[in-house]
């Protein structure tokens, strides 16, 4: 009987893996997790409600070999159900200490929940109880949350203290888009001349910054901190940790409207970075964004504006091709002709923001030009790839409206036989979700010859926009996920075509 219990808990653990990963992706917030995975949870509970009465009845009515045969039949059925749902979810795990603790907690909850049935003949329910793994995960998460909050607070406090002891220039970068690209470019410009501390990838939360600080050697001259926000107060919290003396504001977009509720709240939140920097500090603004221009006009202290017109630093004569992007960057009385493998107008803006900050800090013009030529795109952010005669623009991390529309403009500028796009739609846009996704679809109809759109509510909005733009229905394909889209490419593409991959949503958003 112990073996049967271990088998049941083992299957429950396997089924918990994708749900715990979704909890991780939801910031371990149960409400967000429930919203993102409600269909899977409903399916799992439905399975349990349907089969548990039969399993309990078997425990009381059957005996001997027939009882165990029934148990294994139901267990096999549950294992197949778990395998089917897990395969459909296809969620990638990012192993962290907290995820490991959550999985251990889920296993403990599953064991304690199933153990009582051993004492009154209901142990056959173990054959179907693994389907309750999402609920076990929620209970474990709720039980562990108080400990995790204390642990995280201690972790962040240590980072804050360590940062306060550093005699370094601290640069904060925020905005609805472009943060990681600007951070990557700025580090590339500065690191040959300064000891820099920069977070990898898109580490832009208090814990992400704390992880960055853990890698500090103690001799850093410049700290570059990316600052993300999903709700009011996030940027202020990050500024209290980092205490920036310099800032870069990349742009504003209607992103995370589900939590911010309005664009005005997003502007106020991003402006917290400028508010945290004294008048003696300096803020670099992307004034090609009208809302950022308005923010820059409100700043009393030092600032540098970057844009295509009416700015301290001007971006002129932009040329985009499959080789990358060339443009003139005017800084004061000097003109730098920058040539970079990064592709698109957005890349020119991001590179210019980083160049303005680096030049202000004393980096020479020749070094900026040389570094721009060797710039490597951040993964999945306007990343140019070549495969089988195709030119692929991987912009799958730009899930905001500004980034998505900019990617289509880049696709339009690059020469190719046919233009193909794969998209899943844009999320977390609150009441604007339908409107903005439909507009995105209309723009796709203007630019593209073939459109591949993922199934799901966001993809439906995009599809409606594409068809309303007069797009040929026979050139519109619907797919379940990115894997299916990839398998479709050989049928709808040929050598010389250009493919744009944008808005690659987590699997749970597609359903």
Q: Domain end: 373, 393, 419, which one? A: 373
Spell out the residues 6+ positions from residue 297 whose beta carbon is closer than 8 angstroms to its own.
none
Say whether both 35 and 57 belong to one domain: yes
User: Could you report how far apart the first and last alpha carbons of the chain are, in Å?
Assistant: 38
Residue 158 placed within a domain: no
Q: Considering the domain boundaries, does residue 96 fall inside one? A: yes
Cα gap 474→298, rounded to integer Å: 51
How does pLDDT run along the chain (511 residues), one tens digit per residue? 677 778 788 888 888 888 888 888 778 888 878 877 888 888 899 988 888 887 777 767 767 787 778 777 887 888 888 888 887 776 777 788 889 999 999 999 988 887 787 666 556 677 788 889 999 999 999 999 999 999 999 989 999 999 999 999 999 999 998 898 999 999 999 999 999 999 887 788 898 899 899 889 889 999 999 999 888 889 999 999 999 999 999 999 887 777 788 889 999 999 999 999 999 999 999 999 999 999 999 999 999 999 999 999 999 999 988 888 999 999 988 999 999 999 888 999 999 999 999 999 999 999 999 999 999 877 777 788 888 888 888 888 777 788 888 889 889 988 889 999 999 888 878 788 899 999 999 999 999 999 999 988 889 999 999 999 999 999 999 998 777 888 888 899 999 999 998 865 444 443 3
Handedness of CA 349, 354, 357, 360 (dihedral sign): negative
Dihedral sign for Cα atoms in the order 202, 34, 433, 253: negative
Q: How far apart are CA 272 and CA 288, in angstroms?
A: 20
Cα gap 367→362, rounded to integer Å: 10
| 210 and 310 in a common domain | yes
User: Does a structural domain hold residue 225?
Assistant: yes
Phi-psi region of 261 (alpha: psi -120 to 50; beta: other; left: phi over 0): left
* CATH number for the domain that contains residue 449: 3.90.190.20
**127 shares a domain with 212:** no
Tell me, yes or no, whether 45 and 84 share the same domain.
yes
At residue 440's C-alpha, the angle toward residues 248 and 511, to 5°, is: 100
368 and 348 in a common domain = yes
Q: Is residue 378 domain-resident?
A: no
Name every residue whose Cβ is closer than 8 Å to that of residue 377 and which is 6 or more positions away in sequence: 181, 341, 342, 343, 347, 383, 384
How many helices (H) and strands (E) the chain has is answered by 17, 15
- Give the whole-angstrom CA distance, residue 443 versus residue 385: 23
User: Within its chain, how far is the Cα of 193 from the centroid?
Assistant: 31
Is position 153 within any domain?
no
Residues 52 and 6 in one domain: yes
Do residues 444 and 492 share a domain?
yes
Distance CA 139, CA 151 (A): 19
Looking at 354, 373, 392, the residue that finishes a domain is 373
Residue 500 lies in a domain: yes
- In this structure, the answer to whether residues 60 and 113 fall within a common structural domain is yes
Identify whether residues 430 and 362 lie together within a single domain. no
The verdict on 217 and 361 lying in the same domain is yes
Residue 221 and residue 314 in one domain = yes
In a domain, 355, yes or no: yes
Under DSSP, is residue 414 helix (H, G, I), strand (E, B) or coil? coil
CATH code, domain carrying 335:
3.40.1190.10
For the chain, the domain total comes to: 3
Given a contact cutoff of 8 angstroms between Cβ atoms, the answer to whether 223 and 168 are in contact is: yes
Domain endpoint, select from 323, 351, 373? 373
Half-sphere exposure of 125 (CA within 13 A, CB side): 23
Domain span at residue 198 reads: 166-373
């Amino acid at each position: 009987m112990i073996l049967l219990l271990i088998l049941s808990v083992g299957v429950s653990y396997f089924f918990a893996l994708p749900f715990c990963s979704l909890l991780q992706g939801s910031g371990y917030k149960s409400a967000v997790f429930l919203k993102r995975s409600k269909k899977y949870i409903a399916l799992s509970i439905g399975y349990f409600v349907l089969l548990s009465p039969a399993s309990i009845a078997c425990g009381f009515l059957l005996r001997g070999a027939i009882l165990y045969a029934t148990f294994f039949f139901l267990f096999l059925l549950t294992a197949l159900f778990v395998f089917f749902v897990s395969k459909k979810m296809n969620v990638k795990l990012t192993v962290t200490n907290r995820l490991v603790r959550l999985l251990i907690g889920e296993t403990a909850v599953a064991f304690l929940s199933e153990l009582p049935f051993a004492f009154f003949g209901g142990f056959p329910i173990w054959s179907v109880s693994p389907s309750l793994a999402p609920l076990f995960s929620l209970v474990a998460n709720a039980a562990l949350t108080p400990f995790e909050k204390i642990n995280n607070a201690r972790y962040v406090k240590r980072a804050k203290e360590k940062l306060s002891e550093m005699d370094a220039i601290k640069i904060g970068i925020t905005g609805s888009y472009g943060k990681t690209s600007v951070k990557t470019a700025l580090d590339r410009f500065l690191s040959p001349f300064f000891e820099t501390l920069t977070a990898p990838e898109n580490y832009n939360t208090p814990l992400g910054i704390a992880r960055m600080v853990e890698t500090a050697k103690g001799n850093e001259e410049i700290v570059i901190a990316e600052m993300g926000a999903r709700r009011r107060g996030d940027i202020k919290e990050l500024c209290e940790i980092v205490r920036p003396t310099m800032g870069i504001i990349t742009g504003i977009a209607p992103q995370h409207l589900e939590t911010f509720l309005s664009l005005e709240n997003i502007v106020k939140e991003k402006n917290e970075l400028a508010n945290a920097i004294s008048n003696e500090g300096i803020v670099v603004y992307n004034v090609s964004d009208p809302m950022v221009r308005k923010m820059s006009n409100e700043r009393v202290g030092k600032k540098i504006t970057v844009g295509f017109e009416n700015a301290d630093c001007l971006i002129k004569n932009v040329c985009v091709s499959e080789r990358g992007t060339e443009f003139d960057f005017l800084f004061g009385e000097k003109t730098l002709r920058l040539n970079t493998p990064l592709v698109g107008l957005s890349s020119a803006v991001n590179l210019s923001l980083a160049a303005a900050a680096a030049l202000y800090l004393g980096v020479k013009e020749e070094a900026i030009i040389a570094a721009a030529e060797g710039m490597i795109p951040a993964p999945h952010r306007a990343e140019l790839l070549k495969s089988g005669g195709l030119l692929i623009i991987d912009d799958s991390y730009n899930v905001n409206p500004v980034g998505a529309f900019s990617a289509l403009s880049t696709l339009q500028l690059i020469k190719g036989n046919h233009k193909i796009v794969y998209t899943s739609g844009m999320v977390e846009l609150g009441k604007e979700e339908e409107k903005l996704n439909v507009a995105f679809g209309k723009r796709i109809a203007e630019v593209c010859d073939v459109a591949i759109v993922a199934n799901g509510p966001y993809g439906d909005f995009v599809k409606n926009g594409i068809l309303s733009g007069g797009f040929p229905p026979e050139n519109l394909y619907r797919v379940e996920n990115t894997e299916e889209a990839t398998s479709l490419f050989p049928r709808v593409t040929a050598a010389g075509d250009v493919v744009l991959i944008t808005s690659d949503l987590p699997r749970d958003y597609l359903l």
